[in-house]
Structure 1
Amino acid sequence: MDLCLRIGEMLLSSGAGAADVTATMRSVADHLGLRQAEIDVTFTALSMSHQRSVDDVPTLMMRHVRQRDIDYEDLTAVDHLVRDVLTDRADLYLARTRMATIVSLGHAFPRWAVTIAWMVMAASVGVFLGGGPVVSVVAAVAAALIDRVQIVLARRRLPFFYLQVAGGAIATLLAAGVAATPIDVDPSLVVTANIIMLLAGIGLMGAVQDALTGFYLTSSARLIEAMMATAGIIAGVALGISVADGVGLELGQLVPGAYGISDLPGVLGGAAVAAAAFSVASYAPRRAVLPVALVTAVASGISQAVTVAGFGRAAAAGAAAFFIGLVAYAVAGRVRVPPLVVAVPAIVPFLPGLSIYRGLTFLADGGFFVSQGILALMTAISVAIALASGVILGEYVAQPLKREARKLESRLAGPRLVGPFRAMTRAERRALRKQSVD
């Protein structure tokens, strides 16, 4: 029970859905002989109970889920540990020892390397949005300032909401300050690039997955957390816009235009590098960085094609996300990582930072522009939901196709992004019962 709870804590804190966490814990418990255990997953706590017989008092254990930095290296190690347990390459003693080692080890590379990764990501998003070298440089500097300031605030135990407020304000004020100089730069692109950077760490996909798989309590908690984090970004950007207007600086309103054929390589390359940089910032295994970049580049091409065909931003984002979910399962199997490690970084360039910025600038103007601002913010919400639901739908389609057998569809616990994808067969269960009797 302790091993299962520790595994569940690691998966849940890394953004895995409650259905994946429950199925993984149940698979490990069943394989190690603890059958018919009751598992309950919420956003902040895990509980597991087992009753040997109707006459015995049930044993109950609980574990609170700590908020921790996303570490896909640890998530991958736990995923491999679960597979080793289910294939009898690790017994209970070895599994607990390896789990303790995974939790106690530090990150794969130093913290300053993560700051550089955030800088590269912000600069690449600027290229993806159509900005030039100046936009990329300013966005990278803003990303470094945001990351360092957030580290200082986090050490002072400030809630995450205030960290997001600080990030949004820093990006807006720096863009306004650069715009006041003779340097030719579009400050709106700088702000948008850093908004996407701040949105990247929000676990919206896990919230949508929980809602689709029936874990409504956990989904509600995750949605509230995502809403508060996004509200912090909005408050920070709005504060920056108000200060800029107060001192007479003009940020401008970004109106996206159609990309030309000559711009397409920059758009695809910017999206690919941004996703790869985010995977590095999340400590993803190095072998997954290049596949993430390639998947994102193809998804970006699909998004541009859907946009050129006359569909809206939500439809374009949903099509790109569906492709990501469709191929993430196969790509993750090739590079031996959970599909979550491929899917989450790949959708980062498509996050609705553009719509959020436009909505805020329209609201700041007031009057006739208020309705346009509300419409832009509603577009941002629709794009975010399209991204999360598109990835999950792609996983639904991809997993049964990969398995070849139709009967396997009933064994899948929803769109599996983490954990084992195959349930035990009847023969395996009979062998397990025989082993426990012996």
Structure 2
Amino acid sequence: MRLGLALLGSGAGAFRVKDSMSRLAHAVGIESHRGQVTFTEITTTSFANGTFRTEIGETRRAGVDADKIDRLREFVRGLRPGMSVEDAHAALDEIESARPLYGAVANMLAAAFACAGFAFLNKGGLVECLVVFFAALVGQATRRQMMHRHMNHFGVWMLCGALGTLIYTSFVTALNWFGWVDHNHQAGVISAILFLVPGFPLVTGILDLVRMDLLAGITRLSYVTVLLASTGIAVWAVSASLHWDVNPSVGPELSPVVLNLLRILASFIASFGFAMLFNSPLKVASAAAGIAAVTNTGRLLLVDHTAIVSQAAVGLAALFIGLLASLLSILWRYSRVTLSVPAVVIMIPGVPLYRALTAMSNGEVTSALAQVVQVVFVVCAIGVGLAVSRMITDRGWAFDQDTTRTRRIFTDVAAR
């Protein structure tokens, strides 16, 4: 239970939680183990010596800690039969005592650079990137303080969304009032709050559904929906009060070579920033950012110069990201999820989503539905691409695996 709650609180998917608990159960002498996992709760039953015990656990600290996921993964991979409960507790004590890899300043700068990179990818220019950088910096600092005080996530996302939107609009208005910029920089406001997009639980929720862990997937995606709704309400409230336009901008005119070089740089920065927010080590963050820089730029080139639809391009990019993450996972012994999620998160269409919520609030139903359909197809394409890559590279995904039969699982993995 302690291992399962540690994984769940770090953002791991349901299959990893159940599989890891079963492996540890066998290692300490339990004959059979069954678990049921949601987004915040675990119900587990263990059988040994002709009896059983059922326990229910809950974690309220829903978050993402990629470094802890990898540490727990290495602990599970090193399990062998005959391990004592005391040794297991000692190993978990050591893992849970590890401090975050990045301090407050690095965390805030990661969000700021990631959103600035998003601003360029969303057709923003220098003004949008600079103002988004400052707005996201203050927004992430506020979110960090509120989360450390264990405040309600719905309220945190709503307040930080309103704050980021208000800072962006205030700065652009001030610059315009002094005559330093024109009126063509309003649409960048959405990029200022993209650090609030719950990309990690969104991706793992989709993978839970693919693995047929429906209870975990549905509850995880419900959490994502609540956070997106709270942020969307905040963006709409501020933009409607100030009569602010959130429609797409045209973007700066650049030569194809310069444009694609800047796309590579922006994709690298955005993915690297999100990896830091997920508490990934620098080696993992660099690898994920490198994968994102290549695949995301390739995706944009496919959309610009071929007849392929954007959803198909996203699906192909996600497939290659999953395959590259699997290869690096074998070479470096880091988990695929910590390598792949920062790379795919920059393809999640956060801007169309928040624009759709704003349009819906303004009564523009047709425009809102069109953008919602686009978002749904792109998110599904990401899930399909990652799922196919998992099925190609992992027998446990290609075939149904019963995590309750711990002895067989443990023996099969040890043999490999």
TM-score by length of 1: 0.83
| Equivalence for 2:240 | 242
The aligned amino acid for 2:383 is: A
The reply to whether residue 424 of structure 1 matches residue 411 of structure 2 is yes
Which residue of 376, 390, 394 maps to 2:389?
394
Aligned-partner SS, 1:354: helix
Which residue of 252, 258, 261 maps to 2:256?
261
Aligned-partner SS, 2:99: coil
CA distance in 1: counterparts of 2:412 and 2:289, whole angstroms? 37
Which residue of 367, 374, 388 maps to 1:372?
367
Structure 1 residue 144, shift from structure 2 partner: 1.3
Does the 8 Å contact 1:176/1:187 carry over to 2? Answer: no
| Equivalence for 1:348 | 345
How far does the alpha carbon of each residue in 1:173-212 deviate from its partner, in whole angstroms, 9 at most, with x for none?
2232233223437544532323432114551122212222
Aligned-partner SS, 2:48: coil
CA distance in 1: counterparts of 2:266 and 2:319, whole angstroms? 20
Residues 92 and 397 of structure 1: CA distance in aligned 2, closer, same or farther (over 3 Å)? same
| Equivalence for 1:216 | 214
| Equivalence for 2:275 | 279
Structure 1 residue 231, shift from structure 2 partner: 0.5
The aligned amino acid for 1:424 is: T
| Equivalence for 1:125 | 118
The reply to whether residue 76 of structure 1 matches residue 70 of structure 2 is yes
CA distance in 2: counterparts of 1:372 and 1:426, whole angstroms? 51
**1:314-353 equivalent positions in 2, closer than 5 A:** 314-353=311-350
Does the 8 Å contact 1:296/1:346 carry over to 2? Answer: yes
Residues 154 and 187 of structure 1: CA distance in aligned 2, closer, same or farther (over 3 Å)? farther
Aligned-partner SS, 2:56: strand
Which stretch shows the higher mean deviation, 232-241 or 187-196? 187-196
Structure 1 residue 325, shift from structure 2 partner: 1.3
Aligned-partner SS, 2:39: coil
Structure 1 residue 314, shift from structure 2 partner: 2.4
| Equivalence for 1:198 | 196
Aligned-partner SS, 1:203: helix
Aligned-partner SS, 2:112: helix
CA distance in 2: counterparts of 1:100 and 1:224, whole angstroms? 32
Does the 8 Å contact 2:64/2:200 carry over to 1? Answer: no
Which stretch shows the higher mean deviation, 318-327 or 231-240? 318-327
Which residue of 43, 59, 81 maps to 1:65?
59
Aligned-partner SS, 2:307: coil
CA distance in 1: counterparts of 2:145 and 2:29, whole angstroms? 46
Aligned-partner SS, 2:45: strand
How far does the alpha carbon of each residue in 1:131-182 deviate from its partner, in whole angstroms, 9 at most, with x for none?
2222211111111111122234435544211222223222322232233223
How far does the alpha carbon of each residue in 1:82-121 deviate from its partner, in whole angstroms, 9 at most, with x for none?
1121499x76533321211221332123222111111111
Does the 8 Å contact 1:38/1:48 carry over to 2? Answer: yes
Residues 364 and 199 of structure 1: CA distance in aligned 2, closer, same or farther (over 3 Å)? same
CA distance in 1: counterparts of 2:193 and 2:346, whole angstroms? 11
CA distance in 1: counterparts of 2:375 and 2:287, whole angstroms? 27
Structure 1 residue 78, shift from structure 2 partner: 0.9
Residues 221 and 310 of structure 1: CA distance in aligned 2, closer, same or farther (over 3 Å)? same
Residues 408 and 114 of structure 1: CA distance in aligned 2, closer, same or farther (over 3 Å)? closer
The aligned amino acid for 1:84 is: G
Does the 8 Å contact 2:45/2:55 carry over to 1? Answer: yes
Does the 8 Å contact 1:324/1:391 carry over to 2? Answer: yes
Does the 8 Å contact 1:196/1:351 carry over to 2? Answer: no
CA distance in 2: counterparts of 1:252 and 1:356, whole angstroms? 12
The aligned amino acid for 1:26 is: S
Residues 87 and 141 of structure 1: CA distance in aligned 2, closer, same or farther (over 3 Å)? farther
| Equivalence for 1:432 | none
CA distance in 2: counterparts of 1:395 and 1:177, whole angstroms? 45
Aligned-partner SS, 2:308: coil
Aligned-partner SS, 1:23: helix
CA distance in 2: counterparts of 1:50 and 1:371, whole angstroms? 52
CA distance in 2: counterparts of 1:413 and 1:190, whole angstroms? 48
How far does the alpha carbon of each residue in 1:2-25 deviate from its partner, in whole angstroms, 9 at most, with x for none?
xxx222112222222212211222
Which stretch shows the higher mean deviation, 154-163 or 325-334? 154-163
Residues 163 and 346 of structure 1: CA distance in aligned 2, closer, same or farther (over 3 Å)? same
- Sequence identity percentage: 21
The reply to whether residue 170 of structure 1 matches residue 184 of structure 2 is no
Which residue of 113, 125, 135 maps to 2:128?
135
Does the 8 Å contact 2:40/2:62 carry over to 1? Answer: no
CA distance in 2: counterparts of 1:314 and 1:364, whole angstroms? 26
For structure 1, which runs of at least 5 residues remain unmatched after alignment? 401-406, 415-421, 430-438
| Equivalence for 1:435 | none
CA distance in 2: counterparts of 1:282 and 1:428, whole angstroms? 33
The aligned amino acid for 1:377 is: V
Structure 1 residue 29, shift from structure 2 partner: 1.9
Does the 8 Å contact 1:129/1:189 carry over to 2? Answer: no
RMSD: 2.9
CA distance in 1: counterparts of 2:367 and 2:254, whole angstroms? 23
How far does the alpha carbon of each residue in 1:280-322 deviate from its partner, in whole angstroms, 9 at most, with x for none?
1221112212211111012113311331322333222222112
| Equivalence for 1:111 | 104
CA distance in 2: counterparts of 1:156 and 1:103, whole angstroms? 19
Structure 1 residue 363, shift from structure 2 partner: 4.2
Does the 8 Å contact 2:198/2:227 carry over to 1? Answer: no
